[in-house]
Amino acid sequence: MNLRKKLALKKFIVTMELDPPKKLNLDEILKDVSNDRFKKIVDAVNVTDCPMARLRMSPIALSHIIQEKVGMETIFHITCRDRNLLGMQAELLGASMLGVENILALTGDPPDMGDHPMATGVYDLNSTELVKMVNNLNHGFDYTEEDLHSQTNFFIGVAVNPTAQNLEKEIIKMKEKVALGANFIQTQPIFDIERLDNFLKLTSDIHIPKIIGVMPLKSHKMVEYLNQHLPGIVVPLHLKERMQGKTVNEGVKIARELIGEIKRFKEVSGIHIFPLRDTNLVYRLFD
């Protein structure tokens, strides 16, 4: 049963963020995701698209390889940063032919924050317009409304931040994406259950699956970094104090508690884990 069917049947699902490597050897990644124990926990892996504007392998290529060689379902990220209108549609048509059909539509981090600051950010589209483009392809038309005489079958995901500084604006954007064809939502990491409760109440009229992000904290230093450098990601004071002098072991305890609280909300369809390149954390969270 694929991800789309599981969500349609209201099964509680688990997805996990996976960064492609900056190398050609995939042995380690394929070993991690092919583990039977891993497959029992995780329903699909999100394959990122040059996260933080740092060079990585193509998410479409890696997603196809994982699905073909391992049988693990993937959700590939695609950003507006690196491709113009032609390139974006060409990539999507290619992904469809490769059987990679779960997608997360993103704007993308600007190149000047990454390891190739001299690169040009394209941004012919924003993430809302990208959703519209993908939905057009699903209905058999390209961006110019020309008939393709065939249809893609993408399952379109969008990212949302329930603790955004301007939550009203964030929800307006999300509703626009849903109206344009988005099929599911994955959120940024949540550390404050009260804020999640408020977000779910404000979006109770949006009936597509909502998959909530969880990121295990690794140290007090990590908490400081999140609060200072990632606008809209808020680690509450009581968790900051709890991580004082502690290691990832305490972060795992906190994440497990958060997952327990999140699962109480009937509006929530699943959990999205940000393991920060440590797949073993997934086992620690769910064993």
Question: DSSP characters for 136-189?
Answer: HHHTTB-TT--B-SS----EEEEEE-TT-TTHHHHHHHHHHHHHTT--EEEEEE
pTM of the entire structure? 0.96
Q: Taking the CB of residue 200, how many other CB atoms lie within 10 A of it?
A: 18
Per-residue tokens: 16:
């996990």
Q: Taking the CB of residue 169, how many other CB atoms lie within 10 A of it?
A: 10
Q: What radius of gyration do the chain's Cα atoms show?
A: 18
Which among 274, 250, 187, 269 is positioned nearest to 282, based on CA atoms? 274
Per-residue tokens: 114:
């990454």
164-221, pLDDT tens digit by residue? 999 999 999 999 999 999 999 999 999 999 999 999 999 999 999 999 999 999 999 9
Reply yes or no on whether the pLDDT at 21 is more than 90: yes
CA–CA gap between residue 150 and residue 222 (Å, rounded): 48
The answer to whether the beta carbons of residues 187 and 210 sit under 8 Å apart is yes
Share of the chain above pLDDT 70, in %: 100
87-135, pLDDT tens digit by residue? 999 999 999 999 999 999 999 999 999 999 999 999 999 999 999 999 9
Residue 19 or residue 287, greater confidence: 19
Q: Fold for domain 3-286?
A: TIM Barrel (3.20.20)
